[in-house]
Structure 1
Amino acid sequence: MKLSVPGRAVAAALVAATTLVTSGSIADAAPAAAAPNIPVANVKAHLSQLQSIATANGGNRAHGRAGYKASLDYVKAKLDAAGFTTTVQQFTAAGRTGYNLIADWPGGDANQVVMAGSHLDSVSTGAGINDNGSGSAAVLEAALAVSRAQYKPTKHLRFAWWGAEEQGLLGSRYYVNSLSSANRSKISGYLNFDMIGSPNPGYFVYDDDPAIEKTFQNFYTGIGISTEIETEGDGRSDHAPFKNAGVPVGGIFSGADYRKTAAQATKWGGTAGQPFDRCYHSSCDTTSNINDTALDRNSDALAYAVWELSA
């Protein structure tokens, strides 16, 4: 998740990208076939790979650095092997080359596209395993679960990994701006997953679209978890460009540098008075900076929403 910095210059020379067709309306989503359980061990295996990539490339996976491109190559190879059609969208920002990765699952109504995405870049000070390896790994594993199930949704499914989020949402903004208004209007909903394994976790749900919000709330109610409306990261992650373009958006979040209140600690456990993620944007955001229970629950919530909203 990017820092909230007023007056950030967002548009640093964005060039040369592939325009991708997207498409449709979440409000009429029908009940889906049961979503699979997402094995948290699989998600953590992806996190270990992202950590290894960062360690081998100067300690980070930041925009324009070798660690980011190696992360993208890792995710792309998994998706290609699983039968997705992948497209790498290239742009230039802040004098460095950035990349988005888009993965389309064959089939479904191209006039109604459900997207799930996360930013793949870290800050330059660390490996970014919670921010945002956690979201990236869970979105990847949900996509692989679609392939394993040979899921045949009514709507078209598209997964995305964004570059240069930490520079000001540059990759996701580039993607949205590359679409015609007609193609933007075909996107039924964009689901964002930015930090879902925070070590002192909360359970926050975006309230931007009522139908998407209710889908996530239904999942957490079903496992006995009380949630709160997400406010800490509002406008600070990749759902913002979609929302600003009129696309219905939603998502979940486990907390960043805000401190957990006593009431939240009573509700969710963990430590009151401490940040949800004490390693936010720091070198200690490694594989040891993950709460396995939160990662497991939130990965399952991701899959549940993908299945429900694409049925």
Structure 2
Amino acid sequence: SVVAAEVPSAAVDHVREVLAKLKFDPVVASVVNNISIPQTKNDIRFLTGEDGKSGIVSRHSFSTGARTAAQWIKERIEDTGATCELKPFLTGFAPNVICRYAAITDTNATVLLSAHYDSRGSFGNTRAPGGDDDGSGTTGVLAIARTIGRKGLKFHSNVELATFSGEEQGLLGSRAYARELREAGANLTLMIQADMLAYLPGRPL
């Protein structure tokens, strides 16, 4: 079973401080406005196997489809100027994909945007397209990466884009990376997880 740890009050205060300073940013708005919906549709069709080209039937963490997806995600984000690596975390599991845009300033502050690319089908069904859970979050991360690349954006904090495996087995990939960051003393100033972005309330999951 998963046991939730209490969030330290200092961390809560930090998030409140960050949120209090949020305001409209034209650079962020330009990123959003430059996201290509047709490209995002193509990405999700590749990851679900609906395009008939990827050969992906499932992105279950133990599947060849998941490994195909991991390599494809890595290459797509590398094309935008990020430095990426496949990071194994448990034997048999497809690896995490960790990509980084280095800051233009001398800082160890890091902002992390993530999703999980693995999927899981219904019991007894080998097909697991995972279009919403979490192909939608993964393609959202890809869309942001492509916009960063197109616009040549630079950052005053290090920016990491991560897509995790092992989520459907109990957040295993993200837990492994969180442990790695903690042991390294990483200065993670903000983390946003994108999951099931395409879900419409009232519709069956």
Tell me the TM-score normalised to structure 1 length. 0.53
Rounded to whole Å, the distance in 1 between the matches of 2:62 and 2:2 is 18
> What SS does the aligned partner of 1:88 have?
strand
Answer whether contact 2:59 2:129 (CA < 8 A) is retained: yes
Which one of 91, 109, 113 corresponds to residue 112 of structure 1?
109
* Residue of structure 2 in register with 1:80 after alignment: 78
The worse-fitting range, judged by mean Cα deviation, of 108-117 and 169-178 is 108-117
* Residue of structure 2 in register with 1:167 after alignment: 169
Rounded to whole Å, the distance in 2 between the matches of 1:54 and 1:189 is 35
Rounded to whole Å, the distance in 2 between the matches of 1:47 and 1:150 is 24
Aligned partner letter, 1:197: A
Aligned partner letter, 1:100: N
* Residue of structure 1 in register with 2:9 after alignment: none
Rounded to whole Å, the distance in 2 between the matches of 1:77 and 1:150 is 18
Rounded to whole Å, the distance in 2 between the matches of 1:104 and 1:196 is 23
Answer whether contact 2:61 2:94 (CA < 8 A) is retained: yes
Rounded to whole Å, the distance in 2 between the matches of 1:118 and 1:128 is 12
* Residue of structure 1 in register with 2:58 after alignment: 60
Q: Residues 53 and 103 (structure 1 numbering): CA distance in 2 closer, same or farther, change over 3 Å?
A: farther
Rounded to whole Å, the distance in 2 between the matches of 1:86 and 1:182 is 18
Please list every run of 5 or more consecutive structure 2 residues that lacks an aligned counterpart in the other structure.
4-13, 123-127
Q: Residues 41 and 54 (structure 1 numbering): CA distance in 2 closer, same or farther, change over 3 Å?
A: closer
* Residue of structure 2 in register with 1:288 after alignment: none
> What SS does the aligned partner of 1:101 have?
strand
Which one of 39, 43, 47 corresponds to residue 42 of structure 1?
39
Rounded to whole Å, the distance in 1 between the matches of 2:166 and 2:50 is 17
Aligned partner letter, 2:164: W
- Equivalent runs, 1:5-16 vs 2, <5 Å: 7=1
Q: Residues 62 and 54 (structure 1 numbering): CA distance in 2 closer, same or farther, change over 3 Å?
A: farther
Rounded to whole Å, the distance in 1 between the matches of 2:83 and 2:120 is 28
Answer whether contact 1:53 1:71 (CA < 8 A) is retained: no
Answer whether contact 1:54 1:60 (CA < 8 A) is retained: no
RMSD: 2.4
Rounded to whole Å, the distance in 1 between the matches of 2:121 and 2:63 is 9
Rounded to whole Å, the distance in 1 between the matches of 2:179 and 2:170 is 14
Pairs aligned (count): 179
Answer whether contact 1:108 1:157 (CA < 8 A) is retained: no
Answer whether contact 1:54 1:61 (CA < 8 A) is retained: no
- Equivalent runs, 1:90-239 vs 2, <5 Å: 90-92=88-90, 96-109=92-105, 110-125=107-122, 126-181=128-183, 183-184=185-186, 186-198=187-199, 201-202=200-201
Offset of residue 88 of structure 1: 1.1
How big is each residue's C-alpha offset from its partner over 1:197-253, in whole Å with a ceiling of 9 and x where there is no partner? 12xx14xxxxxxxxxxxxxxxxxxxxxxxxxxxxxxxxxxxxxxxxxxxxxxxxxxx
Rounded to whole Å, the distance in 1 between the matches of 2:149 and 2:49 is 26
> What SS does the aligned partner of 1:87 have?
strand
Offset of residue 132 of structure 1: 0.5
Answer whether contact 1:121 1:166 (CA < 8 A) is retained: yes
Tell me the TM-score normalised to structure 2 length. 0.78
Answer whether contact 1:53 1:70 (CA < 8 A) is retained: no
Aligned partner letter, 2:98: I
Please list every run of 5 or more consecutive structure 1 residues that lacks an aligned counterpart in the other structure.
1-6, 10-24, 203-259, 261-275, 281-311
Aligned partner letter, 2:118: D
Answer whether contact 2:102 2:155 (CA < 8 A) is retained: no
The worse-fitting range, judged by mean Cα deviation, of 46-55 and 103-112 is 46-55
> What SS does the aligned partner of 1:188 have?
strand
Q: Residues 111 and 33 (structure 1 numbering): CA distance in 2 closer, same or farther, change over 3 Å?
A: farther
